[in-house]
Amino acid sequence: MGAMKANDLPFSIHFKSKAISPYSFGLTVHKPAGWSFLTPHEVFEDNILWTAVRMPDGKMYGLKLKSTGTVKKPAILWEVFSQEKLDSNQTERVFCTIAWVLSAQEDIRPFYSLANRDSLVNALVNDLYGMRRTKRPDIFPQLILAVTLQMAPIRRSDQMMTLLIKEYGEKIVFDSKEITYWPSPAMIANKDFRELKERCKLGYRASVLKGIAQALCKGFPTLQELEAMTAEAAKAKLMELKGIGEYSADMVSPHPGFALDVWSAKIFGLLLLGKESETPRTVIPRLRKIAEKRWGRWRGYVLTYVLNDLPNLSKRFKLNLEEL
DNA sequence: GCGTCCAGGTCTACC
DNA sequence: GGTAGACCTGGACGC
């Protein structure tokens, strides 16, 4: 990896940004559950992250991030690598988008203050102090994730995503690292769905993904634009896409939501109701209501924290959350 | 080895 | 406004 120095993206600029405390850089960009920050093929070594970004206009950039502060006094150094020298407009756009993705200016202290009266939040905050939810620069990877998770065991979802990136992803090289990023909507929109199906083992999802890619190419709000809409309007817009239902829309929407599937419903069934439901799908609406009432706008944070803290929670509450 | 079952939802066609 | 039934197909599992 990374021997192709000649192809490296030649230009780079540095930024330094502060974040509102507490902000754990390591827990945020390299989540305990193993979820990637922006692409499964990014590199995280010695507390430095090399990854890739596709901006809403389709341009790809290399991104190198490292912490120059602490959880209490957070500061992040970024380096953005590009094929062409960025003008001031592009620089501004890239800066704003990446700052938004990092959620560095989000104040999570109200969430942490819930710990005073909520034993679950108290446990989460202790275990994962300073971890943040982050955003995505572009919407298509999130939609791919949502669609490949549907009706498939997690191993098969992984397989489909890995194949999509391998067959149709975009590769960039910078700072002696090679990073592969998700396919663009244009790439998938133009493929024959039988080829997609066979090469990526997508089953019926091949035509679903192709349809979504085509809809994005025709014009669709960016994630930042969806965030500027009301939560209801953003969700309705997402559900106009064929193959995106309530769960997927909640998962993709940048608004706080509580996207429960059968797997996470089993986990929250144990945590909130003390038992695993025999029909997890039917208790989802009930769990969503409880979560909204108990955690309000921070319920999405609780979801992310819980799913990244299963080993600790299992021990602490004497539950078997890891093998659901 | 070989057959059977079903998955971290969504849509459609019916009530 | 609510709910069976179909949807691709690769693994997991039982024999």
A282 CB closer than 7 A to any strand B atom: no
Determine the protein residue whose CA lies at the shortest distance from the C1' of B9.
Answer: A150
pLDDT of residue A249: 98
Query: Is there a contact between A224 and A114 (Cβ–Cβ < 8 Å)?
Result: no
Using the structure, give the distance in angstroms from the CA atom of A263 to the C1' atom of B1, rounded to a whole number. Answer: 32
Tell me the CA–C1' distance in angstroms for A279 and C2.
17
Q: How many whole angstroms separate alpha carbon A251 and alpha carbon A272?
A: 21
**Contact (CB, 8 A) for A76 and A101:** no
Strands (E), A105-260: 170-174, 177-181
Identify nearest nucleotide to residue A145 by CA to C1′ distance. Answer: B8
What sign for the dihedral angle of Cα A70, A47, A51, A14? Answer: positive
Protein A240 CA to nucleic acid B14 C1', in Å? 22
CA of A6 to C1' of B8 (A): 42
Q: A253 CA to C8 C1', in Å?
A: 27
- 3-state secondary structure string, A177-207? EEEEECCCHHHHHCCCHHHHHHHHCCCCHHH
- How far, in Å, CA of A60 to CA of A71, rounded? 30
Give the closest residue to C8 (Cα–C1′). A203
Query: Cis peptide before A10, with omega less than 30 degrees from 0?
Result: no
Which bases of strand C have any atom within 7 Å of the beta carbon of a protein residue? 7-12
pLDDT of A2: 35
pLDDT given at position A324? 86
**A263 CA → C10 C1’, Å:** 20
CB atoms within 10 A of CB A63: 24
One digit per residue, the tens of pLDDT, for chain A of length 324 reads: 334 444 689 999 999 999 999 999 999 999 999 999 999 999 999 999 999 999 988 999 999 999 999 999 999 999 999 999 999 999 999 999 999 999 999 999 999 999 999 999 999 999 999 999 999 999 999 999 999 999 999 999 999 999 999 999 999 999 999 999 999 999 999 999 999 999 999 999 999 999 999 999 999 999 999 999 999 999 999 999 999 999 999 999 999 899 999 999 999 999 999 988 888 899 999 999 999 999 999 999 999 999 999 999 999 999 999 988
Q: What confidence tens digit (pLDDT) does each residue in A47-85 have?
A: 999 999 999 889 999 999 999 999 999 999 999 999 999
Do the strands A177-181 and A170-174 form a parallel or antiparallel pair, or are they unpaired? antiparallel
- Which residues, by CB, come closer than 7 Å to strand C? A 151-153, 155-156, 159, 197, 201-205, 207
A68 is written with which tokens? 């120059």
Cβ neighbours, 10 Å, residue A96: 11
Q: Residue A271: what pLDDT?
A: 96
| Cα–Cα distance list, A228 to A255, A257, A290 (Å) | 9, 15, 26
